Structure 1
Amino acid sequence: MLSRTADHLYWMSRYTERAENTARMLNVSYETSMLPQSASAATKAWQSVLSISELLPAYYQRHDEVTLEGVLHFMVRDETNSSSIYSCLQAARENARAVRGALTTEAWETQNLTWLDMNRLFKAKKFETDPAKFFEWVKYRSHLSRGVALGTMLQDDAFRFLRLGTFIERADNTARLLDVRFHAIKNDYHGTVPGKGQAQFDFYHWSAILRSVSAFEVYRKVYRNVITPERVAEMLILRRDMPRSLHASMYEVVQILEAVANDHSAETQRQAGLLLAELQYGRIDELLATGLHAYLVHFLERVHALGGRIGSDFLATADM
């Protein structure tokens, strides 16, 4: 398959997944902001949203202070923010348009209609009226895009590069979410709300992390117990049967790389396999003992490097 075609398909799915992940994160943060909390705690919570995407410096170039309204506009509608939902869905649609011949009619129309509908929703002020409903719409359109591709496309290399972009982006986002949320809760809140208040605080914030990756109900089904940081980390890092875990994402990446392997990709496959092996045979007590933050930072560095290697081995551009 032509590298330019693979590049567009890969980034189409990455941008679609990124839009969904941003909607998930903002939806949970928006709902959590409705809980009783101090002004400083609310500001730190929205700062963490920007930190997850490494957008704090860019935000401060346009805004003097971190506010709910400012962050929502910046992360949803700001056309100058390349990671906003608007920009991501625009980029996904443009990449799809460039390779319409590699997509089924249904797959192309799904991407195009998402872009058109988003602009209609913005013009009708639907986002400002009900942010939570808009975020659910973004998630639904992302689900629909993946479902249509799975149900209508030939499962050839074009389909595989679509999937590869999805799982690389998902692994990156889940690791970022875990790192920032765990770090913020540990440093900013641990031990500051004594007794019953601490327990209530922990429940709401750990459940918020789970809800942001659609894992709250799964957690209850698997563990049937109170929510604890250790089990949240275990589920989102090590469990292969959890769709948005690091293990599940890297398993899919390794399988796809094996299917599209070429004469230059042996080292890329090896690096991906090493990441998967650590997740497959890792134990949560060992990860926590050595430091979860250090592990996640190292994981993100390796996923970023893996994305660069995928770019140089298969795609027309190595970074984007």
Structure 2
Amino acid sequence: MLGRSANGIFWLFRYLERAENTARLIEAGFRMALTRDSKDASDEWRSVVITLGQQAAFEAKHGTDYTGPHVFNFVLRDKDNPGAVLAMVEQARSSARSVRTGITREVWETVNDTWMILREMLARPITETRLGDVLDTIRRQSTQLRGALEGTMLRNEIYNFARLGTFIERADNTARILDVKYYVLLPSLSYVGSSLDNVQWENVLRSLAGERAYRWLNAGRMEAKGIAEFLILDGRFPRSLAYCYAKLQSNMAQLAREYGHEAASHEILRDTCTRLHTLSIESVLEQGLHQFIADFIAVNTRLALEIQRDYRFIE
């Protein structure tokens, strides 16, 4: 497979996963902001922007005016924001067009429909009354795309590169949300273990679509340690770090069989999977959650870059 095609597939699914994750994060921020006073609501919206890595770009345009409409319009549709959802979907469509012969008609049509639907929905400023419909549409289109991929694509190298893009992006998103939780959402360390802390952890679960699963497994108990363990080490939850890396390992193993050899990226992945399998939540918290997450994000970024080198992606 040409490196250019592999690059197109990889980034097509990274962009689409990122768009869905952004929508989920905005929804969680909106829920929290509705229950807070104006200052605390501003802090919630600020945490959304920081998690997305868009603080500098946002403040260059809006200063520190972290109101809901400013944030969700900037993150979803602002033409000056290359990380906006609309821009990401446009980039995904461009990537899909470049690999049109490598994907099925159903996958292409879903990507193209997503772009046309969101282009129309995001053509004018979003109000709070319209926000729910926009976020529902992003999530629904993402679900349809996953269905098209799983239901129509051959399990070959194209499928494997698609999955690599999805799970590298998903792992990065989960890690960043966990990290921001301690350093932005809580006013100070004195709040750890308080009722506010528990509400914030519930918000983390909502932004990762894990609230119902966690409550089902834990009889409704909200405990910071248990939630951290669930999101980092529970291989049953499809947005946990352990689950994402198990899937990456499976798809990388299939690529190794197709190409007849392993490369440096396989070694990075194997080391990270071994570490996740042998870790306990106690050792994570003893090391420090922030330090653990910072190390994980660095390794995840390194893995993505190494995959691009190993398989000769062309930018």
What residue identity is the alignment partner of 2:225?
Answer: E
In 2: Cα distance, 1:275 partner to 1:28 partner:
29
Using the TM superposition, give the Cα deviation of residue 64 of structure 1 relative to its aligned residue in structure 2, in angstroms: 2.0
Equivalent pair of 1:16/1:142 in contact (CA under 8 Å): yes
Deviates more, 1:3-12 or 1:74-83: 74-83
Q: Which residue does the alignment assign to 1:279?
A: 276
1:313 correspondence with 2:313 = no
Aligned length: 312
Q: 2:210 aligns with which of 208, 215, 219?
A: 215
1:1-320 paired onto structure 2 within 5 Å: 1-37=1-37, 39-65=38-64, 66-123=66-123, 129-186=129-186, 188-191=187-190, 198-199=194-195, 201-261=196-256, 262=259, 265-317=262-314
Alpha-carbon displacement from aligned partner over 1:52-85 (angstroms, at most 9, x marks no partner): 1221111111112222221111100012222111
Q: 1:67 to 1:127 in 2, by over 3 A?
A: closer
Alpha-carbon displacement from aligned partner over 1:262-314 (angstroms, at most 9, x marks no partner): 47742210111111111111100110011010000010011111111011111
Using the TM superposition, give the Cα deviation of residue 189 of structure 1 relative to its aligned residue in structure 2, in angstroms: 4.4
Moved over 3 A (4+): 123-129, 189-194, 262-265
Q: 1:115 to 1:128 in 2, by over 3 A?
A: farther
Using the TM superposition, give the Cα deviation of residue 122 of structure 1 relative to its aligned residue in structure 2, in angstroms: 2.4
Q: 1:52 to 1:36 in 2, by over 3 A?
A: closer
Identity of aligned residues (%): 31
What residue identity is the alignment partner of 2:134?
Answer: F
In 1: Cα distance, 2:3 partner to 2:285 partner:
40
In 1: Cα distance, 2:156 partner to 2:172 partner:
25
Equivalent pair of 1:265/1:313 in contact (CA under 8 Å): no
Q: 1:72 to 1:124 in 2, by over 3 A?
A: closer
Equivalent pair of 1:127/1:134 in contact (CA under 8 Å): no
In 2: Cα distance, 1:203 partner to 1:131 partner:
26
In 2: Cα distance, 1:183 partner to 1:316 partner:
35
Equivalent pair of 1:235/1:242 in contact (CA under 8 Å): yes
Deviates more, 1:127-136 or 1:295-304: 127-136
What residue identity is the alignment partner of 1:298?
Answer: D
SS in 2 for 1:155: coil
In 2: Cα distance, 1:299 partner to 1:245 partner:
13
Alpha-carbon displacement from aligned partner over 1:14-50 (angstroms, at most 9, x marks no partner): 000000000000011011100033x332222222111
In 1: Cα distance, 2:86 partner to 2:311 partner:
28
Using the TM superposition, give the Cα deviation of residue 191 of structure 1 relative to its aligned residue in structure 2, in angstroms: 3.4
In 1: Cα distance, 2:153 partner to 2:192 partner:
52
In 2: Cα distance, 1:124 partner to 1:58 partner:
21
Equivalent pair of 2:69/2:128 in contact (CA under 8 Å): no
Equivalent pair of 1:121/1:127 in contact (CA under 8 Å): no
5+ unaligned residues in a row in structure 2: which ranges? none
TM-score normalised over the length of structure 1: 0.92
Deviates more, 1:280-289 or 1:49-58: 49-58
What residue identity is the alignment partner of 1:54?
Answer: G
Deviates more, 1:279-288 or 1:127-136: 127-136
In 2: Cα distance, 1:312 partner to 1:95 partner:
19
What residue identity is the alignment partner of 2:87?
Answer: S
What residue identity is the alignment partner of 1:27?
Answer: E
SS in 2 for 1:12: helix
Using the TM superposition, give the Cα deviation of residue 317 of structure 1 relative to its aligned residue in structure 2, in angstroms: 3.3
5+ unaligned residues in a row in structure 1: which ranges? none
In 2: Cα distance, 1:7 partner to 1:19 partner:
18
